[in-house]
Structure 1
């Protein structure tokens, strides 16, 4: 049982580790679906006691990349490897939303070369560009052929719980060749449904809305939102949310033993 928590700031890192996460997905701008994290955040994560996989996404929007953007992705993969992180999370789409297999093959080869240079493996996760593919089982076979270790996916739905049937289908089709990592809206209340379907790694943000602690803080936060410096629904990683989700996985593991 593996619980991966996605975080986009130093407080999120601390909360995820304290709550018992098994692995982190490190990024920035979770409100935009996640972007490549800053060098300082990468440096802060490298000494953690759990594996850290870095999201490599150079901008918001879709996943069809120009040659210059592809070069940026390659450079960030090298940064993750040089920074001692355990893996990278990448993806790319063609014009029809199928996977850009040619670009992904070059990026996978590049990641392997970076791993060889540092003398340690670099785990490869295909991100949710996968969910936009018109034929998910076919895209799974492409991911297997490219050599990815896992696929981060909601089963093609906005929320993983709504894509559960497809997630179960993908898990059966994977047949141990690649890990299906469900994501989007997973929490302690619905996690057991994914585990019952045979899935053994879960991805979550465990986000909670940041509540103002007093009236002075509320007034200051309103001023920040007025200037566009903060979102109205800013969320933070909840230690309790992580801990409660981890308890579900641990309980399931004990019952299955």
Structure 2
């Protein structure tokens, strides 16, 4: 029997270190989580590769929709060529066509070029037919789908996620994410029967001094900035450690 895994998404070196030290089983490495996560720098990737858990690197050149131009696709492909040498153990990627289906031709190229295990991110949640997208993701060789059940937060999408777990029949992992906290993690896992969850485990850190030049000039938000919180990682890990699944 094994407890569900905890993946923590981070966008700073400090956050990556805190997440691992406090129980994260895997890291999703990003830049700019405020925009949903973008491709992190090569230097950040190389730093994170020294951590004691697998690190999956986000491949996303900008915020907004998951419909990409040819130039943006080329940028993603170029990043996919370098993540392995930067030490990544996997990639996180997704792309959608104007018809709201997975961009399977492009995603096939990305997965093949990276040559690493791959997570299909929440671009999946914008696909008009999630069960068709599920089968396509399996055919493309993705090992998991990060999803909120096509809802703004995972707690509202548990029914679809449970149906996806059932339809997947162990061929791919369904990983709930978005709005997951220590208070609702166990319920989401139980309702979806998922074997892993995804969270930022972040809290708002207020500036020490509102008169500081970094705040005045707008580099640090006066209302505070979200950072990886050691206590939340610990509490999330504790919440899911009470649940056991039969290892597949």
| 1:230 partnered with 2:220 | yes
Q: Secondary structure at the match of 1:243?
A: helix
Equivalent residue in structure 2 for 1:241, among 229, 232, 246: 232
**2-side partners of 1:67 and 1:11: how far apart?**
34
Structure 2: tracts of 5 or more residues without a match: none
Q: Secondary structure at the match of 2:78?
A: helix
Could you tell which deviates more after superposition, 204-213 or 175-184?
204-213
What TM-score results when the alignment is normalised by the length of structure 2? 0.93
User: How many equivalent pairs are there?
Assistant: 242
| 1:39 partnered with 2:42 | yes
Deviations 1:165-217 (A, max 9, x none): 1111111111100000111011110011122131110000011000344xxx2
**2-side partners of 1:226 and 1:62: how far apart?**
32
**1-side partners of 2:205 and 2:137: how far apart?**
37
**1-side partners of 2:238 and 2:101: how far apart?**
37
**2-side partners of 1:87 and 1:225: how far apart?**
36
In the other structure, the counterpart of 1:115 is: none
Equivalent residue in structure 1 for 2:59, among 44, 49, 56: 56
In the other structure, the counterpart of 1:210 is: 205
Q: Secondary structure at the match of 1:169?
A: helix
In the other structure, the counterpart of 2:142 is: 148
**2-side partners of 1:239 and 1:208: how far apart?**
9
| 1:95 partnered with 2:98 | yes
In the other structure, the counterpart of 2:158 is: 164
**2-side partners of 1:219 and 1:159: how far apart?**
36
- Aligned Cα RMSD in Å? 1.6
**2-side partners of 1:141 and 1:178: how far apart?**
9
CA gap of 1:230–1:96, structure 2 versus 1, over 3 A, is farther
Q: Secondary structure at the match of 2:118?
A: strand
Could you tell which deviates more after superposition, 223-232 or 82-91?
223-232
Q: 1:106-117 alignment to 2 at 5 Å? A: 106-112=109-115
**1-side partners of 2:224 and 2:27: how far apart?**
23
Deviation at 1:226, TM superposition (A): 4.4
**2-side partners of 1:190 and 1:157: how far apart?**
16
In the other structure, the counterpart of 1:253 is: 244
Could you tell which deviates more after superposition, 187-196 or 224-233?
224-233
Does structure 1 conserve the Cα–Cα contact (< 8 Å) formed by 2:80 and 2:114?
yes
In the other structure, the counterpart of 2:169 is: 175
**1-side partners of 2:110 and 2:46: how far apart?**
23
What TM-score results when the alignment is normalised by the length of structure 1? 0.90
Deviation at 1:52, TM superposition (A): 0.2
**2-side partners of 1:228 and 1:35: how far apart?**
21
In the other structure, the counterpart of 1:136 is: 130
